Amino acid sequence: MRSVQTILVVDDELAALEVLVAALEDEGYRVLSAGNGRHGLETLVATPVDLVIVDFMMPLMDGAAMGKAMKARASLSAIPIIMMCAASEAQVRKRFAEYTAFLRKPFPVSALIELVHKLLDAPAAP
């Protein structure tokens, strides 16, 4: 039996954060949350996670800075990152291009769930 996978959602918009957390928990994932990149990094250091979903534009530490900090740390560098942003993907890529997937806000929650399943539930290679 496979263990429950853990996802960290980082977004400064509380309403959006609550919706995403609830939707992911409904899918059976363990979900942690943070309101900015700095708190997100603190959470990552304290708790192993399988996936990070992060907003690009946030106070204190934005998604690009958080992603760069993750990639610079060996213990965090392999964690897949879904970057969310209302701006175009081209604008996001100028600051940070090492994310695994991109979702342009607003997006249907079903699109996020589908992407999460694709990234986390893929069968292991034989």
Give 91's contacts (C-beta < 8 A, 6+ positions apart).
85
| End-to-end CA, the chain | 17
Q: pTM of the full predicted structure?
A: 0.93
Q: What is the pLDDT of residue 2?
A: 52
Examine the pLDDT at 97 and tell me if it is beyond 50.
yes
- Compute the average pLDDT of residues 61-69: 96
Tokens 């993907």 belong to which residue?
Answer: 89
Backbone angles phi, psi at 101, to 5 degrees: -150, 160
* Distance in angstroms (rounded) separating the CA atoms of residues 3 and 59: 34
Q: Are 67 and 40 in contact (CB under 8 A)?
A: no
Tokens coding 120: 């986390």
Taking residues 53-74, what's their average pLDDT?
A: 95
Distances from the Cα of 91 to the Cαs of 54, 58, 87, 106, in angstroms? 16, 15, 7, 16
Domains parsed from the chain with CATH numbers: 6-120 (3.40.50.2300)
